[in-house]
Chain A
Amino acid sequence: MNSLSPEVALNRISPELRPLLSSVVRNGRVGLDSTNCLRITDLKSGCTSLTPGPCCDRFKLHIPYAGETLKWDIIFNARDPELPPDFIFGEDVEFLPEASELPHLVSWDARDPECLLLLVKELVQQYHQYQCQRLRESSRLLFEYDSLLEDPSYGRGMEIYAGRKNSWTGEFSARFLLKLPVDFSNIPVYLLKDTALDPGEDVALLSVSFEDAEATQVFPKLYLSPSIEHALGGSSALHIPAFPSGGCLIDYVPQVCQLLTSKVQYVIQGYHKRREYIAAFLSHFGMGVVEYDAEGFTKLTLLLMWKEFCFLVHVDLPLYFPCDQPTLTFQSVYHFTSSGQLYSQVQKSYPYSPRWDGNEMAKRAKAYFKSFIPQFQEGAFANGKL
């Protein structure tokens, strides 16, 4: 199927229906996975072929739900744009929502641009209830669902997809998609804004796939919104534990939540620790500070002199500072290497303790500089050239 950009899709839609679809393709976020917008494909027309365009009034709407993508046909009539649309729910032939519980269908108002989007959200809500009903085919999975539902911190943000039975093995599978109640608001802004796309809401989703009704094959997976993933150091930085054999979601999900929360706390703490470190170095070295990262507090450059010998010290603070030790790079202002770079030496192991506060770290660093510089100077003279 051809995925059209929102603008291209809107240009092909009948003008009377354009406002309704505009809110869907531009602002339409339904369900937990709000990072993916609603998409429209397969635009067709219900008018005769001789009708001049644009006159498309029926299309396929892709809705992310519980790790799947629902593909629903929405059918308007361009000649009667005031009438509400009809729906074909794809492969879910048994899904028949209760029309009386769809307020935006009963009181359809074609003049309200949000009407279609709100109607779709109501339908998705009923679809969720329909899937939860299907869980009754497995008592084990129904238990998982009910136990999660009792905890409001998980029950409110949950999507269930009870898949079709495997026609060969007769196995029943299901997927739980949960929004983890982790607070990302204190993550420093600089960590969150460095993404190519508009990240939208910061969210962490835990997907747990049950490949059989007896929960012997369970595969969890953590999905983070791009900004959070970047803030936490990339997808490789965070590994969640495997689902314990015989375990249940009500025990496992809080475990993952805690892990994620700790990580976030660590990142926040690291930020503050870095800021403290930089502040302490500013205080100790005063005019010797050339520059520093005033946003993320990850870098600091000092220009120091010892016995008429001037040198630069670059301090790089890692993401998980103070647990991870900062890297010190000494650089001569006089000497070059054969490749034309300033002669430098990197020091990663020096006296350090993560339990020191910023002030102590600055003092200890100063002492280390004094002890190391003679050695560095000799090396510069020996290996570098003026």
Chain B
Amino acid sequence: MAASISGYTFSSVCYHSANSNSDHEGFLLGEVRQEESFSISDAQISNTEFLQVVEIHNHEPCAQLFSFYDYAGKVSEVNLNKILKDRRKNVIGWYRFRRNTQQQMSFREQIIHKQLTQILGVPDLVFLLFSFISTANNSTHALEYVLFRPNKRYNQRVSLSIPNLGNTSQQEYKVSSVPNTSLNYAKVIKEQGAEFFDKDGVMKDIRTIFQVYSALQEKVQAVCGEVEQSERVKEKIQDEVNRLKQEIALRKRKSAEEERRLQELEAAETVESSASVLENSDSSVTSRIGFRSATLERMGLERPGTSDMPPLYSDVVGRDSTTVLGSKANVVFLPRPQAVGSPGHPHPLSLPLGDGSSLDSLDRRAAGQEDEEDEDEEEESNDCENLENELSLSPGDVTLPPSQGRPASLRPDGDSHSTPSS
């Protein structure tokens, strides 16, 4: 149980008591509430604590001793009601002040307390005992107070706190939950409140600030929409750029293959013509020329513009990209740049594009985009990877060990090492 008393109630009780030339008693008014605190810790053991909080808001002093009980300590309910009137339901305890006595409930106080508990119907009625202890020469007087919970075992004592009594520079100033029952306060607020409060009782400044807040929220929402749209446009353009890059790569690969085939054919013809030169050196030239011409003509169907000039970009773009996809067998395996910590396994890469495209798209794909992309798109993305490495590699290189060239991923302990190939 925790208990608190408002500063003004405490000082009022002390004032009444100090000015009394004998023992003094009265009733405590306030409220009792239950607080439930639920704490969760790392151990995942939940803890629920119930705390009964007693708040003393006010007091009702008795004009004299024995005003509601007789010599034997028997409480008179009639006299009690005369003192409390309509505040009886707010009674949560009673208090007594006696000078120079022990901080212990007396015989009569215990008898009265038991009866008050029953009559008032407050099972946990508290008793506050004040005492002035003075030294023999009256030079020092100490005000002592103890809050008892007599209905509990061993006459439990409860610590009583007074909010904001202390060093408030180091503590948070607490707002009291005591309801303000002052008539004068209510009157002043009613008269002067129109300048500060609106018709709903809310402070005007608060409403203004709230309006500013709302306006800012709207603007932010609008900007969010614009950002979203621009992001979508950007995505579309990026997709198109990627597609075009892939087509370029395919065309280049195809042209490279055709050149190689052509070279092979030429090499084979050269050998045959050498052999026939020994038998008929005159006719071989013509046939060679013819063969070459025939070869070239044959090659012309597949390779328009058979000159040493590289094909036009427009020609390359116009080609059907699907014909390029079949050439998986000649794909070169190159190490794929890895983000730190990402799992490393090699993917088939296309020949270097040499166009300096960024790795942004690669990162996006490396982040684990789902299988909603179809297989074709995935292969196309793989072809675009490791552009920087491709610039330094020749097309005819065979598969490199995946560990080479891959940036080292760091172990959790900070040491770097090359991740093994999967």
A257 to B259 alpha-carbon distance, docked (Å): 142
Of all chain B residues, the one with the shortest Cβ separation from A91 is: B104
B118 within 8 A of A: no
Q: What 0/1 pattern do residues 22 to 61 of A give for CB contact below 8 A with B?
A: 0000000000000000000000111111010000001000
A105 within 8 A of B: yes
Q: Give, as a whole number of angstroms, the nearest-CB distance from A57 to chain B.
A: 8
The residues of A that contact B105 with a CB separation of less than 8 Å are: 88
Of all chain B residues, the one with the shortest Cβ separation from A102 is: B72
The residues of A that contact B109 with a CB separation of less than 8 Å are: 86
The residues of A that contact B66 with a CB separation of less than 8 Å are: 83
The residues of B that contact A108 with a CB separation of less than 8 Å are: 71
Q: Give, as a whole number of angstroms, the nearest-CB distance from A109 to chain B.
A: 10
Determine which of B21, B101, B107 lies in contact with A51 in the assembled complex, contact meaning CB atoms within 8 Å: B21
Interface pair A88/B101, CB less than 8 Å apart? yes
The residues of A that contact B100 with a CB separation of less than 8 Å are: 44-46, 58
The residues of A that contact B107 with a CB separation of less than 8 Å are: 86-89, 96-97, 99
Determine which of B23, B101, B141 lies in contact with A44 in the assembled complex, contact meaning CB atoms within 8 Å: B101
Determine which of A49, A79, A93, A102 lies in contact with B104 in the assembled complex, contact meaning CB atoms within 8 Å: A93
Interface centre among B100, B102, B109, B155 (most CB of A within 10 A): B100
Q: What 0/1 pattern do residues 15 to 27 of B give for CB contact below 8 A with A?
A: 0001001110000
The residues of B that contact A75 with a CB separation of less than 8 Å are: 23, 98, 101, 106
A107 to B65 alpha-carbon distance, docked (Å): 17
The residues of A that contact B141 with a CB separation of less than 8 Å are: 49
A100 within 8 A of B: yes
A44 to B106 alpha-carbon distance, docked (Å): 16
Interface pair A77/B23, CB less than 8 Å apart? yes
Interface pair B99/A47, CB less than 8 Å apart? yes
The residues of B that contact A48 with a CB separation of less than 8 Å are: 18, 21
Interface pair B71/A84, CB less than 8 Å apart? yes
The residues of B that contact A84 with a CB separation of less than 8 Å are: 71
Of residues 347 to 388 in B, which have CB atoms within 8 Å of A's CB atoms? none
Interface pair A45/B71, CB less than 8 Å apart? no
The residues of B that contact A86 with a CB separation of less than 8 Å are: 106-109
A107 to B71 alpha-carbon distance, docked (Å): 8
Of residues 90 to 104 in A, which have CB atoms within 8 Å of B's CB atoms? 93, 96-97, 99-100, 102
Interface pair A80/B65, CB less than 8 Å apart? yes
Interface centre among B18, B22, B98, B141 (most CB of A within 10 A): B22
A87 to B102 alpha-carbon distance, docked (Å): 11
The residues of B that contact A97 with a CB separation of less than 8 Å are: 107
Q: What 0/1 pattern do residues 81 to 107 of B give for CB contact below 8 A with A?
A: 000000000000000001111101111
Given contacts A47-B22, A79-B21, A83-B65, contact A106 B71 (CB under 8 A): yes
Given contacts A51-B21, A83-B65, A86-B109, contact A46 B99 (CB under 8 A): yes
The residues of B that contact A229 with a CB separation of less than 8 Å are: none
Counting contact residues on chain A (CB < 8 A from B), the size range is 20 to 34
A159 within 8 A of B: no
Q: Give, as a whole number of angstroms, the nearest-CB distance from B111 to chain A.
A: 6
B134 within 8 A of A: yes
A51 to B109 alpha-carbon distance, docked (Å): 26
A75 to B22 alpha-carbon distance, docked (Å): 11
A341 to B18 alpha-carbon distance, docked (Å): 79
A78 within 8 A of B: yes
The residues of A that contact B311 with a CB separation of less than 8 Å are: none
A238 to B99 alpha-carbon distance, docked (Å): 50
Interface pair B155/A105, CB less than 8 Å apart? no
A212 within 8 A of B: no
Q: Give, as a whole number of angstroms, the nearest-CB distance from A78 to chain B.
A: 7
A42 to B74 alpha-carbon distance, docked (Å): 30
**Chain A interface SS verdict (over half):** loop
Q: Give, as a whole number of angstroms, the nearest-CB distance from B79 to chain A.
A: 16
A84 to B108 alpha-carbon distance, docked (Å): 10
Interface pair B99/A88, CB less than 8 Å apart? no
The residues of B that contact A87 with a CB separation of less than 8 Å are: 106-108
A380 to B21 alpha-carbon distance, docked (Å): 86
Interface centre among A75, A93, A96, A108 (most CB of B within 10 A): A75
Interface pair B22/A78, CB less than 8 Å apart? yes
The residues of B that contact A83 with a CB separation of less than 8 Å are: 65-66, 71
A84 to B72 alpha-carbon distance, docked (Å): 9
The residues of B that contact A80 with a CB separation of less than 8 Å are: 22, 64-65
Interface pair B71/A105, CB less than 8 Å apart? yes
Interface pair A58/B155, CB less than 8 Å apart? no
Q: Give, as a whole number of angstroms, the nearest-CB distance from A119 to chain B.
A: 11
The residues of A that contact B110 with a CB separation of less than 8 Å are: 96
Q: What 0/1 pattern do residues 61 to 74 of B give for CB contact below 8 A with A?
A: 00011100001111
Interface pair B72/A77, CB less than 8 Å apart? no
Of all chain B residues, the one with the shortest Cβ separation from A99 is: B72
A25 to B105 alpha-carbon distance, docked (Å): 26
Q: Give, as a whole number of angstroms, the nearest-CB distance from B133 to chain A.
A: 9
A84 to B18 alpha-carbon distance, docked (Å): 22
Q: What 0/1 pattern do residues 124 to 166 of B give for CB contact below 8 A with A?
A: 0000000000100010010000000000000100000000000
Q: Give, as a whole number of angstroms, the nearest-CB distance from B352 to chain A.
A: 91
Determine which of A47, A73, A99, A102 lies in contact with B21 in the assembled complex, contact meaning CB atoms within 8 Å: A47
Of all chain A residues, the one with the shortest Cβ separation from B111 is: A99
A51 to B110 alpha-carbon distance, docked (Å): 30
Given contacts A49-B141, A75-B101, contact A100 B72 (CB under 8 A): yes
Q: Give, as a whole number of angstroms, the nearest-CB distance from A86 to chain B.
A: 5
A374 to B22 alpha-carbon distance, docked (Å): 89
Q: Give, as a whole number of angstroms, the nearest-CB distance from A72 to chain B.
A: 9
The residues of A that contact B71 with a CB separation of less than 8 Å are: 83-84, 105-108
The residues of A that contact B106 with a CB separation of less than 8 Å are: 73, 75, 86-88
A58 to B100 alpha-carbon distance, docked (Å): 8
Determine which of B18, B21, B72 lies in contact with A105 in the assembled complex, contact meaning CB atoms within 8 Å: B72
Interface centre among B23, B65, B74, B110 (most CB of A within 10 A): B23
Of residues 207 to 247 in B, which have CB atoms within 8 Å of A's CB atoms? none
The residues of A that contact B111 with a CB separation of less than 8 Å are: 96, 99
Of all chain B residues, the one with the shortest Cβ separation from A88 is: B106
Shortest Cβ-Cβ A-B pairs, 10 listed:
A44-B100, A79-B22, A99-B72, A49-B138, A77-B22, A87-B107, A86-B106, A86-B108, A46-B99, A106-B72
17 further A-B pairs in the complex, CB-CB below 8 A; given A48-B18, A79-B22 = A44-B101, A46-B99, A49-B134, A49-B141, A73-B101, A73-B102, A75-B106, A83-B66, A83-B71, A86-B107, A88-B102, A88-B104, A96-B107, A99-B72, A99-B73, A106-B71, A108-B71
A residues contacting B by CB (< 8 A) are 44-49, 51, 58, 73, 75, 77-80, 83-84, 86-89, 93, 96-97, 99-100, 102, 105-108
Q: Could you write out 10 A-B pairs with CB less than 8 Å apart?
A: A44-B99, A44-B101, A46-B100, A49-B138, A83-B71, A93-B104, A93-B155, A99-B73, A99-B108, A105-B72
